Amino acid sequence: MGVTSDPIEVGAFRHAPMGVIVARRDGIIVACNPAAGRLLGRGPADLLGRVVFEVVHPDDVDDTEQQCARLLAGRTQVLRHECRIRLRDGRIIWVAVSVSQMPESGDRVEHVVIHVEDIGERKQREADLSHRALHDPLTGLANRALLLDRIREAMSGRGRHARPSHLFYLDLNGFKEVNDRFGHAAGDLVLTQLAHRIVALLRAGDTAARLGGDEFAVLCEDTEPRHAAAIAERLRAAAAGPFLIDGTQVCLSAAVGCSPAHVADPTELLREADRRMYETKRRATTPVPEPPRAAPTRPHS
């Protein structure tokens, strides 16, 4: 294949800390250094004769093949690409791949050189940062930004045959008293317990969010109006169950407002659900006037 026999270059190939693979234009591996074998979880000899794309995650194969085709067509000199690799034991890792053509006799290109580097730690850091940016750090629920994005996504598909969505807004009653009596750590425990109860009620496609303080929201897609009242009642029941704080049971309640997703602006929809929640709270705290009593009749003298 035209690989140099210079001992220094051969030693550099064998002892390089980064995985190095030489493959034919059709993807067949013809050389592999020990670092690549360790990274891919296979002995170098086991990789010889295999097609490079065999170790690429199935979901990433098409994109990787298209990128390689650009290189072989001369549309780029060096291909830099990130994809997932499937190891022999079933584990999936992220790798950064750099691919360059290897000119041989008469500038004919029959082989490519592939450098492979494990970037799993970087990908995990990026995923952690992304999760923290879009989730409440206490409960792990979606935060306001992610909820608004989910609402926007749900509303973007609205049309004649769009599935109905409803947004529920929940506010705890008596939460301040819990903080005052037991401390903020106990209050955090209540919020965490409530978050777990809410998630247990929802389907996989629903979104539960903590908006701040003791306020939560739930977006339910594909929910008919006749089912919305039952969902609101289940959310109220989740908040009414006793919370355990240092062996003491504390009972709270919640006001729940529900708004069908009838406006295109996610912020406006959130405000509407909030307004309906406060209307529910106001009705619950407003005393019902007693019916007027008939004045007693005086006996005739």
CATH class of 7-124: alpha beta
Q: How many other C-beta atoms are found inside a 10 Å radius of the C-beta of residue 184?
A: 10
CA distance 46 to 285: 74
Per-position b or e across 151-165, b if 16+ CB within 10 A of its CB: beebbeeeeeeeebb
Q: Where are the domains of the chain?
A: 7-124, 135-285
DSSP H or E run through 192: helix 184-201
135-285 homologous superfamily: Reverse transcriptase/Diguanylate cyclase domain (3.30.70.270)
Backbone phi and psi for residue 185, each to the nearest 5 degrees, phi listed first: -65, -40
Say if residues 225 and 170 touch (Cβ distance below 8 Å). no
CA distance 134 to 266: 16
pLDDT of residue 53: 92
Say if residues 98 and 114 touch (Cβ distance below 8 Å). yes
Q: How many other C-beta atoms are found inside a 10 Å radius of the C-beta of residue 3?
A: 14
Say if residues 56 and 85 touch (Cβ distance below 8 Å). yes
pLDDT band at 15 (very low <50, low <70, confident <90, very high): confident
pLDDT of residue 225: 87
Say if residues 193 and 243 touch (Cβ distance below 8 Å). yes
Question: Looking at the predicted structure, is the pLDDT value of residue 125 above 80?
Answer: yes
The CA-atom distances, in angstroms, between 290 and each of 189, 284, 286, 293, 294 are 40, 16, 12, 8, 12
In the chain, the amino acid numbered 185 is A
- List active site positions: 214
Answer positive or negative: Cα dihedral of 237, 225, 275, 286: negative
Per mean pLDDT, which range of 10-14, 105-109, 222-226 is the poorest?
105-109
CA distance 207 to 147: 7
Closest CA to 273 of 196, 149, 193, 165: 165
The winner for highest mean pLDDT among 46-60, 79-93, 134-148, 159-173 is 134-148
Q: What are the pLDDT digits (tens) for 130-151?
A: 999 999 999 999 999 999 999 9
Q: How many other C-beta atoms are found inside a 10 Å radius of the C-beta of residue 119?
A: 16
**Which value, in Å, is the radius of gyration of the alpha carbons in the chain?**
31
Q: What are the pLDDT digits (tens) for 180-204?
A: 999 999 999 999 999 999 999 999 8
Answer positive or negative: Cα dihedral of 120, 122, 125, 127: negative
DSSP 142: B
- Decide: pTM greater than 0.85: no
| Averaged pLDDT for residues 162-172 | 89
Closest CA to 170 of 224, 239, 108, 242: 239
Cβ neighbours for 56, distance < 8 A, ≥ 6 positions apart: 64, 83, 84, 85, 86
Closest CA to 76 of 66, 85, 86: 66
Say if residues 175 and 252 touch (Cβ distance below 8 Å). yes
Say if residues 154 and 165 touch (Cβ distance below 8 Å). yes
